[in-house]
Amino acid sequence: MLPSATSKAASMQTLTSQADWITRASAALPAAGFGNFDPGIVIDRGEGAHVWDADGTRYIDYLIGSGPMLLGHGHPEVMEAVLQQLPRGMTFFANNSAGIELAEAIIDAVPCAEQVRYVTSGGEADMYAMRLARAATGRDKIVKFEGGYHGMSAEAQMSLAPDRRVNFPQAVPDSAGVPEAVRAEMLIAPFNDLAYLDSLLTEYTGHVAGLIVEPLQRVIPPAPGFLQGVRDLCTKHGVVLIFDEIVTGFRLAYGGAQAHYGVTPDLCTLGKITGGGFPLAAIAGRRDLMDHFDKSIVGADRWLMQLGTLSGNPVASVAGLKTMEVLRRDGQYARLRATGERLMQMQTDALAAHGIPHRIVGDATLFDVVFVDRDVRDYRDWHGHDRARNAIWNDTLRAHGIFKSPGKMYPSLALSEEDLARTGAAVAKAARAVAGAVAN
């Protein structure tokens, strides 16, 4: 006999420990997880700069949902905006005033944005941006940089994290199920190498529709002049330049990486912070390119069809609007950068005290420790890091209350002086653990 709904609910209430949740996840979820993060931890709640696991252990959160919670979890003003919207409706599959207002705010903030089209996830935004470049140019090939992350589309799953080196511009699929035909249309270049990119675009003149790049590639910063050089080469060859600002938008600066670095793309993609912690992403760019979403302007043959059930939903829109309002206030980005610089310095001081080779790679708003003895300019430099030391470092931090990605640390505006002091103590212990492993 099948169990009743009441008996199921009672059974669920008795299984409250993290170990119980992990057991249930192992049965219900492939690889015991959502595919995003370590399935060996189950987060129960978040507040400010902290999260708690299912056993009640508190962590200082430097993952912050993989970036969107720049103001921290449950920011009271964002929550109030959401609570005011909820009784008015959660989604309509139609225009709503909050979504229109958010689009106007994005256009005011982001240099390349003349119009905005909403989707729900960053991966969707990147997929549509590449498709838009193809629609606008009538060309098929897309250039991306080795190690760049642009979501889960077939195009994006090329040379994201290849374990084997191949000659550029050959693409290496990162996933099963990607058609060979897609690989043939992707060209891979090394990040921070303008000379190679120049030769590649010259060789494929007239065939490349778009170039997509994270202005800060994961945590690897662009070399001085690199982004402007990319801009110039794309202009020269008639290639649509796409900045993937899913992570960097409203993090590096209020206008994103393009405002921070002073280089304007043709299109950009936005997400994470833009939705204030709720599902919302967008493609933004020049009006003549965005016209391809309007069949009445470009005609049926050049029209790019796009729709989504939750695109521009009002709950995410009001959360994004309030988040952007808070970020516009005086001193927010200066404080974020000052916090990030303190975090960077405490880590390099702790590791240097033990003579451990490393680099702090990234921007003060997004960075990590890389265990190498040389500068990191591209994916292959990063790929050569000491994985054993990286694992010890991250495991020790987790054991001492620091919650972070294995490859990134996201500072937030919710961090307190107490949080930074606790982080410093954990960092010192992690450095000792790495040093001890080296000695043994």
DSSP code for 158:
B
Q: What angle do CA 357, 188, 147 make, to 5 degrees?
A: 35
Q: Among 272, 368, 404, 410, which one carries the catalytic annotation? A: 272
293 token code pair:
């979403």
Give the distance, in angstroms, between the CA of residue 411 and the centroid of all CA atoms in the same chain.
Answer: 14
| Helix axis angle, 332-353 to 314-327, nearest 10° | 80
61 part of the active site: no
**Rounded to 5, what percent of the chain is helix, strand, coil?**
45, 15, 40
DSSP string, 381-432: HHHTS-HHHHHHHHHHHHHTTEE-BTTBB---TT--HHHHHHHHHHHHHHHH
Q: Among 53, 61, 244, 266, which one carries the catalytic annotation? A: 244
Q: Among 118, 128, 149, 410, which one carries the catalytic annotation? A: 149
Report how far residue 419's alpha carbon sits from residue 417's, in angstroms, rounded to the nearest whole number. 5
30 token code pair:
């492939």
Report how far residue 412's alpha carbon sits from residue 51's, in angstroms, rounded to the nearest whole number. 13
Residue in the structure block whose two tokens are 């662009």: 222
Residue 243 pairs with which residues in a beta bridge? 213, 268
Length of the chain: 440
236 part of the active site: no
Report how far residue 263's alpha carbon sits from residue 261's, in angstroms, rounded to the nearest whole number. 6
Are 346 and 128 contacting, i.e. CB atoms less than 8 angstroms apart?
A: no
List Cα–Cα distances, 260 to 252, 347, 363, 428, in angstroms. 6, 25, 11, 32
Instruction: Give the number of other Cβ atoms within 10 Å of residue 311's Cβ.
Output: 20
Residue in the structure block whose two tokens are 């420790």: 369
Active site residues: 149, 244, 272
